[in-house]
Amino acid sequence: MEFVIATHNADKIQEFRRILEPLSIEAVSADLPEVEETGTTFAENAYLKAVSAFHATGKPAVADDSGLEVDALGGAPGIYSARYAGEDATNEQRIAKLLDALREVPEEKRTARFVCAICCVLPNGDLLTARGECPGKIAFAPRGTDGFGYDPVFLTGKKTFAELSAEEKDNISHRGKALRLFAEKLREYKEKSHAEQ
């Protein structure tokens, strides 16, 4: 079964593929229009992106909206994670801004979580949604060379996300959790639809 992944982020597409392909779901990318993320929650933005991708392709579409919530910053950058340092900022610039904002914050108060909301729009108009969270802390400096976004400063245990292998990250990450929950819901949905035919 082919699902369009509503993102222009190549790293995210790879992550979706790794987690969905074992479930016989082919995650494909498409040339999709940009979507204005006007939602006030991760779930609302995921819905906007999934609906747009479905209308553009006519295929089942899956979108995620995800970001970093830092307790000492009142949950910021939150839904603005990708735009935290400006529209065209690099990952390095976003990380620099975050570390600067946390300059005076001691280790025990640097708690944070990655959040991922997933929305799938099916051709009959049905929606499937899932959410995953991964708690952690913000490191004092970037470490590691893998991953993307805020991964080099997001600590789970003694390692940052950027120091984990793709498999280790998928096992504990917010997106990994959300995608596994989504896959479970999709399986149940397919079984129910099959039973009703």
CATH classification of 2-196 is 3.90.950.10, yes or no? Answer: yes
Decide: 104 and 138 in contact? Cβ < 8 Å.
Answer: no
Cα–Cα dist 89/43, whole Å: 24
Residue 88, number of CB atoms within 10 A of its CB? 7
What pLDDT digit, counting tens, does each position of 83-113 carry?
A: 999 988 999 999 999 999 999 999 999 999 9
Please check the confidence at residue 194 and state whether its pLDDT lies above 80: no
Q: Find the catalytic residue in 65, 88, 151, 170.
A: 65
SS3 63: strand
**pLDDT, tens digit, 9 for 90 and up, residues 2-41:** 899 998 888 888 888 887 887 778 899 888 888 988 999 9
Chain segment 34-61, per-residue pLDDT in tens:
898 899 999 999 999 999 999 999 999 9
DSSP 3-state percent helix, strand, coil across the chain (nearest 5) = 45, 25, 30
> Looking at residue 139, what is its pLDDT?
98
Rounded-to-integer distance, Cα 97 and Cα 84, Å: 8
pLDDT 10s digits, 139-165: 999 999 988 899 999 999 999 999 999
Can you tell me the distance from the alpha carbon of 120 to that of 131, in angstroms, rounded to the nearest whole number? 12
Question: What's the angle, vertex CA 173, arms to CA 167 and CA 175, rounded to 5?
Answer: 105
71 annotated active-site: no
Residue 197 has pLDDT above 70, yes or no: no
- Domains of the chain, by residue range, sit at 2-196
Mean pLDDT of the chain: 92
Q: Where are the beta strands (DSSP E) in the chain?
A: 2-5, 26-28, 61-70, 111-121, 127-138, 154-156, 159-160
Task: Please report the pLDDT score of residue 68 as a whole number.
Answer: 97
Q: Model's pTM, two decimal places?
A: 0.89
